[in-house]
Each structure stands twice: as structure tokens, then as C-alpha cells.
Homo-oligomer: A and B are copies of this chain.
Amino acid sequence: MAQLIGGDSSLLRRINSAVTLRALRDGAVLTLTQLVGETGLSRPTVEGVIEGLIESGLVAEVEPADEGVRQRGRPARHFRFRAEAGHLLGVEIGTHGARAIVSDLRGRTLGAYGRPIDETTEADERLALVRATVAELLRRGGISRESLWAVGVGTPGVVDAEGVVQLGTALPGWTGLDLANRLRRSFRCPVLVENDANLAAIGEHWKGAAIGRGDVVFVLAGLSPGAGSLIGGRLHRGFGGAAGEIGSLHLLGQEDEPSRLLSTTESALRDPLDEAAVARVLRRAQQGDHVAMDVRDRFVARLVRDVAALVLAIDPQIVVIGGWASGLDGVVEPLRKQLGRLCLRPPEVQLAALGDAAIAIGAVKLAFDHAEQQLFAVDQ
């Protein structure tokens, strides 16, 4: 712990408080002596800081577990971080539904709730259904809205730094929507909006297939694939928030449009969202229908090509494949093979570990990081 010269004792207090709180947040139950050891602060300083933290509700004193043999003398006081002092909310707004996850201040999931939403639903109604999804989750968990410290939201499309959807063709009425402000009306805490594939990358890095990997490409494989990248452990949004929006790559060769690729007839499937028709084709492929199998293979080949372009551009340590198309037979193996052929140093290729929840979990992490700043920032 760095010493500071006098003059700004409130800054010093904040730093000492943050250091103590972090020791408790990262650890389990600690005694005063342990806190002195962890923080490098003096015992009286820690005592003063702890009193303040208990008052603010962030720390609680706990009865030590009976350790069999009682120690003599005054028992040591034990403290813990009150992860229940606040809650974090992660919300996914998807083409076919909404999903919300709530966690405590340590980021531990406390509950999840989702509901389907028809793909044709207009923006206002969709937002009402999202609000209802959140309300139901909070109700079921007995969590008050006022206990929320931050809300993270994931959505398809290009989202700017202010949370406005600059382009969102996957959802009706989405382009131009000031999503952050629209949702802020329902909460008293900050609402942060981010592209869905970006959040899935964050989610898989936090709790999924990419833990401990700094350079990650997450592919949200669908009819129009999107991707999110972490570079050095940090989200790469791109200059305009559009990094990884590779959905239009297929325009470079019109014949490769997914609605045609996945069609078993001469006419294209309804573009861009006819996932039911796609599911039918894939079912037929699984049943051994040769036309459908060819169709599936063509689609996988295009996905592989799009991902290869991403990988060559970014050179990640790991590629994580999620989204509904990740469930297709033989996405991962052809991808490994192609990347091995194309890349000077092929990355690891894994299926997403969090499945459908990756985006909402990434949204929780967005809220978690914001809460971290509130807890540990000392510079104001």
C-alpha cells in the first residue's frame, strides 16, 4: 500500500477503504489480523475503515465457525463482504426472445428468466416484454428493483458508446433506437447497452470457454453471423462499434447468401430470419436426406470462410463458436481443419460453454464491471 503525503485525507481514506474492501471481496471471511496482513495497512487504520464499511452495508461482522477447540482470550472478530448488498442485472434482447439474469455483487448468478418474443414484434411492444421479463425475474427472486446497482443489456446490431442502436436490421424498428435511454426509465441505476456478440465474448471470457485467454474471437453463428473480439482481455468495439459485424461478407459472392445456401429448392428461404425453415432443412439432413446434407455442408463452408477471415485479421488465441448454428453437425471440425490450413498459427477452436446464456452472462459482467468502479474507484 503506497503512502501518500498529507493534505487529502479523504482521498487516503477512500484508498484505504477500497483496498480493505477488495481484500474482503476477493477472499472469504477474514480477521482483523488477516486484513492487516493483506492490505499492508496499520491495525487502527483497518479498524476505522471496517467500521465505515459496516455502516455503509458493504461489510458484515460474522460469528466465526466453532473451531472445535476454543481459543483463549477475546475471540478475533471476523468480517465478510456483503455481496448481497446490491444486485446486478444482465438482459439479452434477442430476435426470438428476452432473457434476464440477476447476480449478487460478486457476480454469482442468483436467478434467470426468459420468455419468447415473436420476431415480428415492434420495438415498443418488444421493450414492454423485456420490462415484463425483468419484473418477473425480480419478483421470483424476491429482489427489489432499488437494490440494482447496474444493468447490462445485449442487443443485435451496431450500438454506439451512448447505447443508441446505430443499425439493427434483425429487429423491427430497431435502427436508431435510443435503447439505453428507453430502458433507463425503468431503473434508477445506470443502464449499459452493448452488441450481443460482444457481450457473448465477454461472457465466455468471464465464465465460459475462454477463461484466462486474453485474445478471443466469439462467433455468434446464425443466418447472419456476428462476432465479438477481446484483445488483451478487453473488448474490441472498433472505431464505430461495428468490429466483427461480418454478416455482409457473403455479399462478396451473391450466390453464397445464406437464404439461398440453405434452400433445397431453386427459391431462397425468407431472408433474413427464417430459422424455422432452416431447422426443417437441418432435421432432414440429420435424417440422411442427401439434398439437405449438401445444403447444410454449403452453409457450414460459408460460416467457416467468414470465421477464417476474422481469425486471419485478428489472430486470436481462441475462437469460441456460439449461436444457434453452433449446434449444427460438424461446424467445429471443418472450422479447425480450415483454420489449420489457412492460418500461420491456428487458434484453439471451442464451442461456447455457456450456450444460450452467454449474452446475458456477458451483460451481467458489463454491470459487474460498472459496480466494480463504484466500489473501488478512488479518484473522485
Q: For residue A237, which residue of chain B has the nearest CB?
A: B315
Question: In the complex, are the beta carbons of B215 and A315 less than 8 A apart?
Answer: no
Interface residues of A in 196-239 (CB under 8 A from B): 214-215, 227, 229, 231, 236-239
Q: How far does the alpha carbon of A353 sit from the alpha carbon of B183 in the complex, in Å?
A: 46
Question: In the complex, are the beta carbons of B314 and A314 less than 8 A apart?
Answer: yes
Question: In the complex, are the beta carbons of A315 and B5 less than 8 A apart?
Answer: no
A317 vs chain B, min Cβ distance (A): 4
Please judge, given known A-B contacts A166-B345, A344-B166, whether A241 and B305 are in contact too, CB under 8 Å.
Answer: no
Which B residues are CB-close (under 8 A) to A166? 344-345
At the interface, yes or no: A105 with Cβ under 8 Å from chain B?
no
Question: In the complex, are the beta carbons of B239 and A215 less than 8 A apart?
Answer: yes
Please judge, given known A-B contacts A158-B344, A238-B215, A345-B166, whether A315 and B245 are in contact too, CB under 8 Å.
Answer: yes
At the interface, yes or no: A33 with Cβ under 8 Å from chain B?
no
Interface residues of A in 49-74 (CB under 8 A from B): none
Question: In the complex, are the beta carbons of B313 and A239 less than 8 A apart?
Answer: no
Question: In the complex, are the beta carbons of B238 and A316 less than 8 A apart?
Answer: yes
A251 vs chain B, min Cβ distance (A): 6
Which B residues are CB-close (under 8 A) to A242? 312, 315, 343-345
Q: How far does the alpha carbon of A215 sit from the alpha carbon of B241 in the complex, in Å?
A: 12
At the interface, yes or no: A167 with Cβ under 8 Å from chain B?
yes
Which B residues are CB-close (under 8 A) to A237? 315
At the interface, yes or no: A246 with Cβ under 8 Å from chain B?
yes
| CB contact between A347 and one of B5, B239, B317 (< 8 Å): that residue | B239
Question: In the complex, are the beta carbons of B316 and A309 less than 8 A apart?
Answer: no
Which B residues are CB-close (under 8 A) to A313? 227, 229, 243-244, 246, 309-310, 313-314
Q: How far does the alpha carbon of A313 sit from the alpha carbon of B249 in the complex, in Å?
A: 10
Q: How far does the alpha carbon of A6 sit from the alpha carbon of B160 in the complex, in Å?
A: 47
Q: For residue A214, which residue of chain B has the nearest CB?
A: B239
| Besides A215-B239, A309-B310, 5 other A-B contacts (C-beta < 8 A) | A3-B5, A239-B315, A240-B317, A240-B344, A246-B309
- Can you pick out 6 interface pairs between chain A and chain B where the beta carbons lie within 8 Å of each other? A158-B345, A166-B344, A242-B344, A245-B315, A249-B309, A313-B314
7 closest residue pairs by CB, A with B: A238-B315, A309-B309, A313-B313, A240-B345, A243-B315, A215-B239, A239-B317
